[in-house]
Structure 1
Amino acid sequence: MRTPASTKIMANYRIIILCVILWFFHSANTPVTCSNNKTDLLSLLSFKAAIYDDPRGALNSWNETVHFCSWKGILCGSRHRTRVVSINLMSQGLVGSLSPHVGNLSFLRSIILQNNSFYGQIPREIARLKRLEYIEFSNNSFDGSIPRNLSQSQNLYYLNLIDNDLTGIIPPELGSLLELEALGLSKNKLSGTISPFIGNLTRLVLLSLANCGLQGEVPHALVHLQSLELLNLDENSLTGSIPSGLYNISTFSIFTVRSNQLRGTIPSDLGFKFPKLRHLDLGDNLFSGVIPVSLSNASMLEFIYLSSNNFTGPMLKDFERLSGLRSLIFSSNHLQGDISSISSLTNCTRLQVLSLFDNLLSGSLPGSIGNLSSQLSYLSVERNEVHGSIPSGIGNLPGLTRLSIEDNDLDGPIPSAIGKLAKLQEIYLGMNRFTNVLPSSLGNLSLLNHLYVQQNNIDGSIPPTLSNCSNLLTLDLSHNNLSDSVPREIMRLSSISISFNLAHNAFTGPIPAEVGSLINLVNLDLSHNRLSGFIPNSLRSCVSLQRLHLEVNSLDGEIPRGLNALKGLQDLDLSQNNLSGPIPRFLGELPLVNLNLSFNRLQDEVPILGVFENKTAVSVDGNNELCGGIADLKLPPCSSTNSKKKNFPTVLKILIPIVITGVISFTLSVCFCISVYRRRRKSRDIPSSILSFEGQFLRLSYADLLKATNGFSEANLIGAGRFGSVYKGILDDGQILVAVKVLNLHIKGASKSFKSECNALRIVRHRNLLKLLSICQSTDFQGRDFKSLVYEYKSKGSLEKLLHQNRQQQGGQDERTSSLTMIQRLNIAIDIASALEYLHCGTDSSIVHGDLKPSNILLDDDMTAHVGDFGLAKVMSSISGEFPTHESSSIGIKGTIGYVPPEYGISTMISTQGDVYSYGILLLEIFTNLRPTDDYVLKEHTSLHNYVTSALPNAVMEIVDPYILSEYKVKQSKTEDCMNSVLGIGVACSKESPSDRMSITNVVNLLCKIRTAYLVGEETRNT
């Protein structure tokens, strides 16, 4: 029997044993967890340490005061709640290398670093991540070879390394990644061939190997990829033919092998074998044979590009089933047949591009051409054998921006109906047999940029209404029968900057003094006419002139001294006129490559400097009173030459003391001036893409901008982005407020962004686009490269600020009220849509903005919206080539998360429809005041699009900005109907499939109608 004392001892003993067991259990388990936690923590800190520039503060939260599972871009697992399973730092502007310690994150399944500036090699240690499934490194600067040991990550199903600087071959070890569904290696500097091992990856859905230096043939092993939906082999040096087995893969949606040296024929049953095909691009190769009729049965086709090959035989005649067709490009082949077959395209109601130029098509343009799609923006049939007249139905194509039918056998008058095409920007009618006068209705085309009617039989005078074309860049009416005087009104069109050509006509009278208004003009040709009088001295204002031809006229008087101001003049022809007087010495100081002064009445000595030193570059024949010059000109010596030689020693004695004294002082002055001149010259260097527009910009140097922004002080900083910072500035006179965007040239893509912005802004003018005032490309005071763009300053700031300023001030997640009224939001939405419509359809080239979001929308005092930041813009066509509505790109996303369309994630195309998607999301944000990344509100809906869709139409007033709700309680009226309509447009624009999205033109029209209905409703209520 136990005593109380022994019982107590036993109880204490049990407690001690229990404590020991608990301690042992704790020590056996806890250190492992802590160790693992610490490993992930240290790995992430090492990741951060390898980043030397974080412009957006993406890693600010990466410190030990907060658990790393709460750091931005970090996701921990649901099972292992303290282990990192995902890193997502897409589009954060990060600059640095990728730390090899990332290989210690043993639970990592996904790593997304696309659209940053990571450099250096991809660390081999990443292959230690056995659970890794998803690698997204596109649009960075990784170099070196692709790690061969990636094959150890057997769970990998997505690998995107597009748009980097990777070198070497495609490692054959990747052939063991049997789970791989997407492989993107485009836009790198790889070499070698497409290895047959890729045929082992039988689960591949997406394969993008474009523009990466590959050679050799397309391997037969690719026929094993029976699940392939996208194949992009563009812009390599591939040869041979396409393996026939590839044409048996029925899952293809996108098949593009453009710009190689591939040959062979297209199977006659291709249209049946590719039932899901949306995009077919075989352009710029060596394919031959006929275009299979079966393509007419591929009813899902949207884009057909077969240009620049050797296709022969008849063009397709039956397009009835291709109702979704958007682009049909058969240009530069040897196709035959009747052009009237395009009548079957009238069922293609989405058709935007029809390009058949440079073939052997004959017949006449059908009257049904006016029944083609109202969305048709590009029509090109030049360099064929088309005859007859232009049908008046051409005026029924309201979306047409480019009409090109030159170099055919067309005749008759140019129809006045052409003046109905209000969006027309380019007209190419040259090298035909058109007669009669130019229609005065051409003056209705206020957006017209290029008008070519050369080499026809047009007579009469130039209609004065043409002066209404205030955006004209090129006017070529040469080689016709035009007469009367050159209209002064046309000469006042200062927009003409590329070419003004009236040569080989019968114009009379003097050259109007208004020619001086053409301050940006590069080429002026008035030769082979009957012009008379003096050469106007006002030509001195045409400072951009490079080519001036006035030969074969009846001009008289002396060569005007005003030509001395034309510092860029390279080609000058004044031959076969009645010019008199001496040859000005300044002509030898101009950068002339060709000078023709022959057959005039010029007198006195020929200079012996500059162009006059080159016999092959100058012609002075037929001027009987000229003398001197270089010996090769074989002119008689001037009469005063000998007397000058006799007096030379006396003159020399007098001049030598003066010259020596002067030279010493002059040399010191010149040394100082040269250094000043070089600095000023550099500071005012403007990119070549906009030289022709130089006269429209303020001339600002680095020193000017430094002063205007108070030394680029932080107090003047009004915004920052991936490629640079924006400062508020005040120019010297104190009257001009500007926004100065300074590029961070250390960031990959900044120079490319600068070039893109210049290239896009060179050709745009619209009230809802941010106006560029100046460009500065120079060096700072430390000799470092400096690039900046100067814009108009908009006092109300960005739409981002107006929508979300309360959220920033109060910091509450539920506080999302903006003080913008319903009508203000509608006006802003219409302004942005109008700008977008202009970019897509209203210039000589279609432009994709590429980064539409609230922070890139600025508002002025009148609350007018202006779209800015064209750093990611793409000009999709030019006057010199075809008009592809889509441009090959990487599958790496460029833009801002939340606004980037889903097809940019893995697709090979960028498009205007991508902008429409971004606009749709932006429209939803304007009226809900929710960012597309506000996960705390969107929750299970996953996206703003789905969130709004779920509320339409019955619960729409529950999701709108609370300020609109308060306005609704006061006004009632048609607010709810208005909101349903507006948000419905946003949803229609942001649909997942580009083909399902609303056109931007329809968006503008519908929003204007909604605004009108809303205002009428309010007026009725008030009445």
Structure 2
Amino acid sequence: MFPSKLTDLDLSQNSLSGVVPSWVANLSSLTSLDLSHNQLQGSIADLGKLAGLESLGLSYNSLSGIVPPSIYNMSSLNYLTLASNNLGGTLPSDMGITVPNLQTLSMANNHFVGDIPASLQNASGMMYIHMANNSLTGVAPSFSSMKNLEYVMLYSNHLEAGDWTFFSSLVNCTQLLKLNVGENNLSGDLPANSIANLPKSLTALTLRSNNISGTIPLEIGNLSSLSMLYLDTNLFMGPIPFTLGQLRNLVQLSLSKNKFSGEIPLSIGDLHQLEELYLHENRLSGSIPESLASCQNLVALNLSCNTLGGSISGHVLGSLNQLSWLLDLSHNQLAMSLPLEMGSLINLGSLNISHNNITGIIPSTLGNCVQLESLRLEGNLLQGSIPQSLAGLKAIQVLDFSHNNLSGTIPEFLGTFTMLQYLNMSFNDLEGPIPTSGVFSNTSGVFVQGNPHLCANFAEQELSRCFASVPTKEHKFVIPVLIALSARAALALILGMFIFWLKRGYKSNENIVHSYMELKRITYSDVNNATDNFSLVNVVGSGQFGTVYKGWFDAQDGTVAIKIFKLNQHSALHSFIAECKALQHIRHRNLVKVITACSTYDPVGNEFRALVFEYMANGSLENRLHNHQCGGLSLGAVICISVDISCALDYLHNLCIPPVVHCDLKPSNILFDNDNTARVCDFGLAKLIHGCSSGGQSGTTSIVGLRGSIGYIPPEYGMGGEISTEGDIYSYGIVLLKMLTRKRPTNEEFNDGSTLRKYVEASLSRTQDILQPGLASVTGDQFVDQIPNFQECNTFALKDMCALRLLKLGLLCSAESPKDRPAMRDVYSEVTEVKEAFFSMDNRSNDLTLLRQKGGR
């Protein structure tokens, strides 16, 4: 096919498929062979006859297997590229001796294992080494003899630093431009002399994602040619060295996810070429330095997750009008109001100032930032209404004003934003009707809970229906009060004859009571007929104090669930009373709704107690977890269920007066309605907490013995501790860990002091071993200690981050000591953040994707 005297054969960047043809090995005169960027498969043919081959390019194919030993014996090779295939095996220890003339060695993105041969030093003419994204181990080799070396790319392996000799050896590589050994197992302190001896020619240094500790040597300032410095995701501590200000050519600087403390050095302002600055997730304090105003080329600035205080400088913002990708100041302690100069960021795509102590109003000038795709102001102390000027933010995709003190109505213009896919306005003091157009027509993208004065013109269980006309100012107060009193009186009418505490504890307005006479009253005969004479066919569940039947009263109620109490059981009557007391006070979309109650006598004179609930057609969480036909829960389902449960508990603990402690949270008490929304049921052990504030209430000790179910009972209850909301939080943590692992806390393997919590805690570094099969494939151990803010999750790592965040939350909630558990409001906020990240990631601005693409330069 080709003449036997052919010396150069270049078939790269075609669409060649199949295997590397064996006849190529017969072209004995070849000095250059390039088959890269094709679709070749199978193993590499034996090319041992090509004794004079100087250049071999096989990159970007789908080749597999090991590299034929003959290739490593081509002493004339100076160019060898095998990158981006499926090749594996080890590199021969004498590789540098058998191919001594190598100048370019590219083997990245394969599956090579073992050490990098120390003999590579013998290839003294080496200029380019790219062996990233493999599974290479051992200590990084010395490069002292490679004086012409320009590029060293060893990132994403398992290499160790040893005594850092490999770093010091680079002093002789006076032409070195780029060094990337990130994402390895380098550990220990970075020696000052190793930094000092790095060649001044170096333009890019990446040590990210290792375990490097200690401080950054001041000698870092000697690397005057650096344009990119990535030291993030390590264990560096101490102050950020002021000598970084000497790196006047820096374009990209990332020191994030370390343990740096102290103030941001003023010398950062000397980096006039800087375009990207990442200092997030450290322990930095003090104020944002005014000198940053001199960094007028910044397009991305992230200072989030520190303890920065003071105010946001209008002067700095006014000078950084080139910011276009990202400004993130979230999770700090910034105070005062937002400056009007915020409106000068007219090119900005993502602005996050959430979780600070910002006061005042939302500046109207924010409407000038017409390029914004993501605006997050949640978790502050903002007041006033949402300014009409924000109507100019037509490009917005993510908008979060939650957890502030905002008032007024939800602006109608938000419904006109065609790009808006995620809107969170929860936990404010907003009032009036919710718009119905645009994003509001897709309720999965809108969060408005925690605004008691909002109403809806459509069916929404958490909100009251709006009135036809706008109430007067006086009626705004009177009407909610009447509604609350009426609901309380209605339940009093149903239960008052049978519950002694109701007679002396709740005096209802008689006129209001009579207005609710139409509520359903049922007799023993009604219940008997509804359950077909208590047929076993209709039994859907049974517990310690009652049996639940499926029944039918009339077409209006449809199918219902009827809980018949086993009054022959000790404390069953207490359970009925407790459930009635609790249900009088609660109504929430994540709680099973009570329809009515029955307290009477059966035909032979025995006491009879029953409660009638909505029928939950889709079974319980217990069934879903352990019904093998279901195949386990997906991660998305686990997230949604954990949000539903925490929303219900947050309501019980923080929004009910008095607060309610469920006391028996477990998977069998979590049911699913027709829409697969999780609902908490069974308040037979519930306890009302009187005279205490929410979050950490102390109640009384149990009057019915140890409250809860084995495996879910908090440790303090077993030692006579008081009933409290922290007990529910413990049970929630165990339920969460059970969903993630699919292991019952009562499994036989958890004995001799072992528990589900201890099992998860001990195995957190081996998450593949503990997650239930449906989830194990989505996570990797490398993320256990590297969980960033969710806004910074990329799509590929998102599921990993979410699963691990939930595991850690489960451990936190199930802490042995009640004081170490988070409040349910914080739990609800946490899992809501996970849900928002998981389901809205594709709709968020792609600023981080762009950043990472640039970071790969």
TM (normalized to structure 1)? 0.46
Which of these residues, 352, 377, 382, is aligned with residue 208 of structure 2? 382
Q: Conserved in 1, the CA contact under 8 Å of 2:20 and 2:44?
A: yes
1:541: how far off?
A: 1.1
The aligned counterpart of 2:568 is none
Which of these residues, 30, 41, 63, is aligned with residue 204 of structure 1? 30
The aligned counterpart of 1:398 is 224
Q: Conserved in 1, the CA contact under 8 Å of 2:37 and 2:60?
A: yes
1:503 aligns with 2:341: no
1:601 aligns with 2:429: yes
SS at structure 2 position matched to 1:578: coil
CA gap of 1:225–1:257, structure 2 versus 1, over 3 A, is: same
Q: Which amino acid aligns with 2:436?
A: I
Which of these residues, 334, 344, 347, is aligned with residue 517 of structure 1? 344
1:293 aligns with 2:265: no
1:583 aligns with 2:410: yes
Aligned pair count reads: 476
Q: Deviations over 1:761-780 (max 9, x none)?
A: xxxxxxxxxxxxxxxxxxxx
Which of these residues, 848, 852, 856, is aligned with residue 880 of structure 1? 852
What are the residue-to-residue correspondences of 1:42-81 with 2, within 5 Å? none
Q: Deviations over 1:468-494 (max 9, x none)?
A: 001001110000010000011221111
1:408 aligns with 2:225: no
Q: Which amino acid aligns with 1:562?
A: S
Q: Deviations over 1:446-484 (max 9, x none)?
A: 000110000111000011011100100111000001000
Q: Conserved in 2, the CA contact under 8 Å of 1:297 and 1:321?
A: yes
SS at structure 2 position matched to 1:419: helix
Q: Deviations over 1:812-833 (max 9, x none)?
A: xxxxxxxxxxxxxxxxxxxxxx
The aligned counterpart of 1:570 is 397
The aligned counterpart of 1:281 is 106
Q: Which amino acid aligns with 1:311?
A: L
Distance in structure 2 (CA, Å) of the matches to 1:321 and 1:349: 11
1:338 aligns with 2:162: yes
Q: Which amino acid aligns with 2:324?
A: S
SS at structure 1 position matched to 2:466: coil
Q: Which amino acid aligns with 1:594?
A: Y
Q: Conserved in 1, the CA contact under 8 Å of 2:459 and 2:465?
A: no
CA gap of 1:882–1:321, structure 2 versus 1, over 3 A, is: farther
Which of these residues, 546, 551, 564, is aligned with residue 378 of structure 2? 551
Distance in structure 2 (CA, Å) of the matches to 1:604 and 1:884: 49
Q: Conserved in 2, the CA contact under 8 Å of 1:612 and 1:630?
A: no
Q: Conserved in 2, the CA contact under 8 Å of 1:339 and 1:364?
A: no
The aligned counterpart of 1:561 is 388
Q: Conserved in 2, the CA contact under 8 Å of 1:358 and 1:382?
A: yes
List alignment gaps of at least 5 residues for structure 1: 1-172, 644-876, 886-1023
Q: Which amino acid aligns with 1:457?
A: R
Which of these residues, 600, 618, 631, is aligned with residue 459 of structure 2? 631
Q: Which amino acid aligns with 1:218?
A: I
Which of these residues, 203, 214, 219, is aligned with residue 45 of structure 2? 219
Distance in structure 1 (CA, Å) of the matches to 2:421 and 2:138: 47
1:339: how far off?
A: 6.6
What are the residue-to-residue correspondences of 1:650-665 with 2, within 5 Å? none
Distance in structure 2 (CA, Å) of the matches to 1:525 and 1:361: 33
Distance in structure 2 (CA, Å) of the matches to 1:520 and 1:537: 17
Q: Conserved in 2, the CA contact under 8 Å of 1:629 and 1:635?
A: no
Q: Conserved in 2, the CA contact under 8 Å of 1:613 and 1:630?
A: no
1:255: how far off?
A: 0.3
Distance in structure 2 (CA, Å) of the matches to 1:458 and 1:371: 29
Distance in structure 2 (CA, Å) of the matches to 1:413 and 1:641: 61
Distance in structure 2 (CA, Å) of the matches to 1:632 and 1:333: 52
Q: Conserved in 1, the CA contact under 8 Å of 2:449 and 2:462?
A: no
Distance in structure 2 (CA, Å) of the matches to 1:194 and 1:356: 32
Distance in structure 2 (CA, Å) of the matches to 1:471 and 1:307: 31
Which of these residues, 408, 417, 426, is aligned with residue 252 of structure 2? 426
Distance in structure 1 (CA, Å) of the matches to 2:416 and 2:163: 54
Distance in structure 1 (CA, Å) of the matches to 2:856 and 2:442: 45
Q: Deviations over 1:568-626 (max 9, x none)?
A: 10111101111111111111111211111011111111111111122221111111111
Q: Conserved in 2, the CA contact under 8 Å of 1:346 and 1:373?
A: yes
Distance in structure 1 (CA, Å) of the matches to 2:140 and 2:178: 16
The aligned counterpart of 1:257 is 82
Which of these residues, 5, 9, 14, is aligned with residue 183 of structure 1? 9
1:435 aligns with 2:407: no
1:635: how far off?
A: 1.4
CA gap of 1:501–1:339, structure 2 versus 1, over 3 A, is: farther
SS at structure 2 position matched to 1:509: coil
Q: Conserved in 1, the CA contact under 8 Å of 2:286 and 2:310?
A: yes
Q: Which amino acid aligns with 2:401?
A: L
Task: Flag as ranges the 4+ runs of structure 1 deviating above 2 A.
Answer: 337-341, 877-885
Radius of gyration: which is bigger?
1
1:233 aligns with 2:53: no
SS at structure 2 position matched to 1:386: strand
1:323 aligns with 2:177: no
What are the residue-to-residue correspondences of 1:896-935 with 2, within 5 Å? none
Distance in structure 1 (CA, Å) of the matches to 2:174 and 2:140: 20
CA gap of 1:878–1:218, structure 2 versus 1, over 3 A, is: farther
Q: Deviations over 1:350-400 (max 9, x none)?
A: 111110100111011121212211110110011101000000000000110
1:489 aligns with 2:279: no
Which of these residues, 442, 459, 462, is aligned with residue 285 of structure 2? 459
Sequence identity, in percent? Answer: 41
Q: Conserved in 2, the CA contact under 8 Å of 1:524 and 1:545?
A: yes
Q: Which amino acid aligns with 1:479?
A: C
List alignment gaps of at least 5 residues for structure 2: 472-848
TM (normalized to structure 2)? 0.54
1:540: how far off?
A: 1.2
CA gap of 1:627–1:884, structure 2 versus 1, over 3 A, is: closer
Q: Which amino acid aligns with 2:272?
A: S
SS at structure 2 position matched to 1:880: helix
1:883: how far off?
A: 7.6
CA RMSD of aligned residues (A): 1.7
Which of these residues, 417, 439, 443, is aligned with residue 615 of structure 1? 443
Distance in structure 2 (CA, Å) of the matches to 1:307 and 1:380: 13
CA gap of 1:633–1:486, structure 2 versus 1, over 3 A, is: farther
Q: Deviations over 1:245-277 (max 9, x none)?
A: 111110011100110101111110011111111
Q: Conserved in 2, the CA contact under 8 Å of 1:615 and 1:633?
A: no
Distance in structure 2 (CA, Å) of the matches to 1:418 and 1:642: 61
1:632: how far off?
A: 3.6
The aligned counterpart of 2:841 is none
CA gap of 1:354–1:879, structure 2 versus 1, over 3 A, is: farther
Distance in structure 2 (CA, Å) of the matches to 1:254 and 1:529: 55
1:337: how far off?
A: 2.9
SS at structure 2 position matched to 1:332: coil
Distance in structure 2 (CA, Å) of the matches to 1:336 and 1:416: 29
CA gap of 1:642–1:399, structure 2 versus 1, over 3 A, is: closer
Distance in structure 1 (CA, Å) of the matches to 2:854 and 2:79: 20
What are the residue-to-residue correspondences of 1:148-163 with 2, within 5 Å? none
Distance in structure 2 (CA, Å) of the matches to 1:404 and 1:532: 35
What are the residue-to-residue correspondences of 1:527-926 with 2, within 5 Å? 527-590=354-417, 591-632=419-460, 634-640=462-468, 879-880=851-852
SS at structure 1 position matched to 2:66: coil
Distance in structure 2 (CA, Å) of the matches to 1:630 and 1:272: 78
CA gap of 1:382–1:535, structure 2 versus 1, over 3 A, is: same
The aligned counterpart of 1:304 is 129
